[in-house]
Structure formats: structure tokens, C-alpha cells
Amino acid sequence: MPSVSPSSPNADLPLWLRLLARLPFGSLYALAAALALLLRYVLHYRVSVARSNLQRSFPDLPPRRIESILNDYYRRLGQIIAECLKLATISAEELRQRVIITNLHLLQREIDAGRSVILLAAHLGNWEWQLQGTAVQIQSPIDAAYKPLHGARSNRLLLQLRSRFGARMVAAKKLMRVVARSRGAVHVVALMADQIPASSSGRHWLNFLGRETAFYPGPGEIARLTGYTALFAGMRRCSRGHYEITFQPLATAGEPCEPQAFTARYAQLLEAQIRQDPANWMWSHRRWKLAPPVATTAAGQAASG
């Protein structure tokens, strides 16, 4: 295993976080259960958004099943928040025990051969633990894209937690520049590619969960320009506080792959994961607020007709 020297868990962290992070998992999960109820039934945190997303993605499911998935989703969301608090104090060894990579050899083989890798992930399982769980198990720098928060203090805190185990956090808008500078060195580029590309003018429109859906074009462009090996990093929940990551090939090193086709491969693998365990994905995100171009809608209707 690589030697990991996490930053001091108490360095510059607010007192409330240090105190909460020291609680045992059992206590944190008890708080998480209360938080889930608060989000779901009192604050109604994006409940209508999550319910609508589920109903439109699974139109054949009865209302009772939709509500069951919705309840499970909010229960897991509370647990994810509790687990993220633990990032302030959790050890590298405990992360390795709680985040298992079933086929690490697919990634390590590329690194050992001197080839850089793109890891394309999604909001499956505990996406915050996914990056940290990978960082403690590979011997390569990780450049991970992120979207900066508006509040400077919140953004600084998030960066501290996400970089504890050596991941180099890079603002998404600067990622291409960083990748270009790092072409001569073996590294891993990690991206979350399932959010809405609100500010992107070159969106890829694909049929995803039964609807025309916009995807970021960036990952496909990076794969085309670099020729890096690309892997989809799917994450599933095994039990409370325990997850598995499984890599699936998206593109081999040097493979000529048109960006739209690359994105379509990613969307297909992601949809399969979601259908296996619907509550495992982030349904409260306003994923479909963009309307597809008229030409795209017409083409889809012609194909279905």
C-alpha cells in the first residue's frame, strides 16, 4: 500500500467539526437518522424535485415503490453527511477497510506501465469517500476536479477535507490547463460527470433514464486530447458505512474515441448502476432543468416513432 501522511485532522478546522468528528460512528448515525427525518419531512429539502425525478425516470413503478425509494434515499443522504464529517479524523487504514476497490489492478496496471488514467465517477454511494478511498490505495498523484463553493470559508473547509489524503483539488475551469501541464508525468484525473452543465455551451445531449439529458463535454474532450486510459468508477453501498468501487473500461490508452460516443458510454454505465439500486444516486439534484434543443427533441421523436 502507498504511504499516506494525511494532514493534521485538527489543523484550522472549526471546533464544532472537530467535536462531531470525534464521535463514534454509532452516535453519528443516530444524528444522521434524525437529520434524514428533518430533511425529508420538516424542511422538505428538495423532496418535490427528487420525487419528480424518480417518477419520470421510472414511470412504470407504482407510487408506493417511488415513496420507498425516496425514503431510502433520504436515509442514506443523512448517513453520507455523517460520514463526510468523519473525514476530519478518519485514518487511511479505516478508509481502506470501509471503501473496497474490487478490481484495483485495472488502475494500478496502467500506473505501473507509466500511463495516466481518467477516472470518471458519479454521485453514487458516498462520492466524497470515493475520492479519499481511492487516494489511499494508489501510488499516483490525483488531480480531482471540483466546483468551488460561493462562500470562501465553506470552500476552504471543503478543500481541507477533500485533500487530506493527497488528492490535488483543481477548480473545474482550470482542469484542462493542469492536465496539459502534467502530460509528462503519470497521474490520475478524477471527474464527476453527472451534474447539469449549466454554464457549458457545448453540451452533449443523450437519452438517459428515458429523457434527453445534457452532459458535460469536458471528459470526452480530455480523453480525446490526452489519449489517457479512461475508467468508469461505479460505487455501491454494501452496508451502512461500507462501500465498493468497481472500475469498468471506457477507453483504452490511445483509443480514438469521438467525445460524444465517449460520453454515451459513460451515460450507459451510469444508468445501469442507477437501475440496479435507485436510492444509491443523488435524486435531489435538479438534473433535468435544461430543455433540449428543438433539433435534438425532433430527432428523438423520429427515432422512437
First to last CA, the chain: 54
Alpha carbon distance 26, 31 (integer Å): 9
Residues pairing with 212 in the sheet: 207
As a three-state string, the secondary structure of the chain is: CCCCCCCCCCCCCCHHHHHHHCCCHHHHHHHHHHHHHHHHHHCCCCHHHHHHHHHHHCCCCCHHHHHHHHHHHHHHHHHHHHHHHHHHCCCHHHHHHHEEECCHHHHHHHHHCCCCEEEEECCECCHHHHHHHHHCCCCCCEEEEECCCCCHHHHHHHHHHHCCCCCEEEEHHHHHHHHHHCCCCCCEEEEECCCCCCCCCCCEEEEECCEEEEECCHHHHHHHHHCCEEEEEEEEEEECCEEEEEEEEEECCCCCCCHHHHHHHHHHHHHHHHHHCHHHECCCCCCCCCCCCHHHHHHHHHHHC
Query: Please, is 114 exposed, middle or buried when counting C-beta atoms within 10 Å of its C-beta (0-12, 13-18, 19+)?
Result: exposed
Please answer whether residues 205 and 296 qualify as being in contact, where contact means their C-beta atoms are separated by less than 8 angstroms.
Answer: yes
Which residue do the cell numbers 442507477 mark?
274
Q: For strand 211-215 and strand 204-208, is the pairing parallel, antiparallel, or unpaired?
A: antiparallel
Contact residues for 86 (Cβ-Cβ < 8 A; gap 6+): 21, 25, 28
**What's the whole-model pTM score?**
0.91
pLDDT per residue of the chain (305 residues) written in tens, 0 to 9: 444 455 555 557 788 898 999 999 999 999 999 999 999 999 999 999 999 999 999 999 999 999 999 999 999 999 999 999 999 999 999 999 999 999 999 999 999 999 999 999 999 999 999 999 999 999 899 999 999 888 888 899 999 999 999 999 999 999 999 999 998 899 999 999 999 887 656 899 999 999 999 999 999 999 999 999 999 999 999 999 999 999 999 999 999 989 999 999 999 999 999 999 999 999 999 999 998 887 555 454 444 44
What pLDDT, on the 0 to 100 scale, is given for residue 15?
A: 86
What pLDDT, on the 0 to 100 scale, is given for residue 18?
A: 87
Please answer whether residues 235 and 120 qualify as being in contact, where contact means their C-beta atoms are separated by less than 8 angstroms.
Answer: no
